[in-house]
Amino acid sequence: MGINLKSPETQFAIEFIRNGSELARRIHAETSIRSRVKPDHSPVTFADMGVQAIAGALLEQHFPGAVLVAEEDAEFLKAPEGVEDLEKISSYVHSFFPHAKPGEIRRWIDRGQGKPAGSFWTLDPIDGTKGFLRGGQYAIALAFIHNGKVELAALGCPELELQGHKGLGKGVGIFAARGQGCWAASLDGLKESQSWVRLGVSRCREVRQARILDSFDPGHKSTEKSRLIREALGTLEDPVSMDSMAKHVVIASGDAEIFFRTLPQKEPGHREKIWDVAAGALAIEEAGGRVTDLEGRKLDFGAGVTLARNPGFLATNGFLHETVLEALRQATRV
């Protein structure tokens, strides 16, 4: 069975990933990328804002009444010191919507300020902004959530090349729908159904052979706890550090088996934002893998803007999930 790209939700998601990735790639190719630091100390670029504006605009066309819960807001762009930035963002967005006025673009960005409801879309316009700035991995990530479960996921990973699917080249789009599998295509060929290949997780059952992915940023994990867990697992290879939900795509494609996010020592109460996890989680599950929190519980996307009931994150190819949970228990006992 091939991929079914016919539903209106799928068409919207794919059109967004295609346009959003194109905008991100264009800014990424510039010699210097400007960024600003948000109140939570994380960076934001014109790409984060521009991609979110495109999502808001396309959503308005396809599903005018739909709710969007997204990472960015246009607050800064409303202040006098944000005028220049808004002009710059508008110049990028004009390649896709040539007649959009600055006020309209601000409104498209702020469409992402919706509140989680029974059914809604969630978006991280640029997941891994630090990776984006550093020339590492980043992802454009959109998901549809219904009654606390992720039903549809679409990701653009412009810098990613899948080792098991080298024919797709660098820059892949991912689509997953509950019960319909996880699929990948070159970002240049997202529209044609024949260009999609089905992804499946690795069959590895030998934990010592497993390949582990790790968050790049030391502030996003407990480095010490993560080391203890790897020690308990006895894996032979060093973990591969990577920014963003590109990690989830790598697990879904079978290029690695394990990714966990431990809670940072300084912030043991940290909970993931839904837009940082939703799309990647469904991609892994639909590729045959498993995702839970660090205690082995299912992820509950119906608890608001964060995964309030789920500490940390664990994704595996499924076969190794219980083994890693046991290693996690061992590592927390010491």
The residues carrying an active-site annotation are: 48, 129
Point out which span in 102-110, 121-129, 157-165, 185-193 binds Mg ion (CB under 5 A). Answer: 121-129
Contacts (CB under 6 A) with ligand AMP, residues 121-160: 127-128
Judged by CB, which is closer to ligand AMP: 276, or 285? 276
Q: Least CB distance from residue 276 to ligand AMP, whole Å?
A: 3
8-28 and 83-93 are packed helices; what angle lies between their axes, rounded to 10 degrees?
120
Closest separation in Å from C-beta 35 to Mg ion: 14
* 264 binding partner (options Mg ion, ligand AMP, none; Cβ < 5 to 8 Å by kind): ligand AMP
For position 124 contacting Mg ion by CB under 5 A, the verdict is yes
Applying CB under 6 A, what is the total number of residues that bind ligand AMP? Answer: 14
Stretch that binds Mg ion, among 95-103, 270-278, 279-287, 323-331 (CB under 5 A): 270-278
Regarding 276 and contact with Mg ion (CB under 5 A), the answer is yes
Choose the one of Mg ion, ligand AMP, none that binds residue 215, judging by a C-beta under 5 to 8 angstroms depending on kind.
Answer: ligand AMP
Report if residue 220 touches ligand AMP, rule: CB under 6 A.
yes
Q: Which of 110, 151, 243, 286 binds ligand AMP (CB under 6 A)?
A: 243
When CB distances are held under 5 to 8 angstroms depending on the partner's kind, the choice from ligand AMP, Mg ion, none that residue 216 binds is: ligand AMP
| Dihedral sign, Cα of residue 232, residue 233, residue 236, residue 238 | negative
- CA–CA dist 174, 287 (Å, integer): 11
| Nearest distance, CB of residue 262 and ligand AMP, angstroms | 8
Residue numbers 274-293 binding ligand AMP by CB under 6 A: 276
Nearer to Mg ion, 151 or 276 (CB): 276
| CB of 24 vs Mg ion, minimal distance in Å | 13
| Nearest to ligand AMP of 151, 276 (CB atom) | 276
The residues binding ligand AMP (CB under 6 A) are 127-128, 215-217, 219-220, 243-244, 264, 267, 270, 272, 276
The residues binding Mg ion (CB under 5 A) are 124, 127, 276
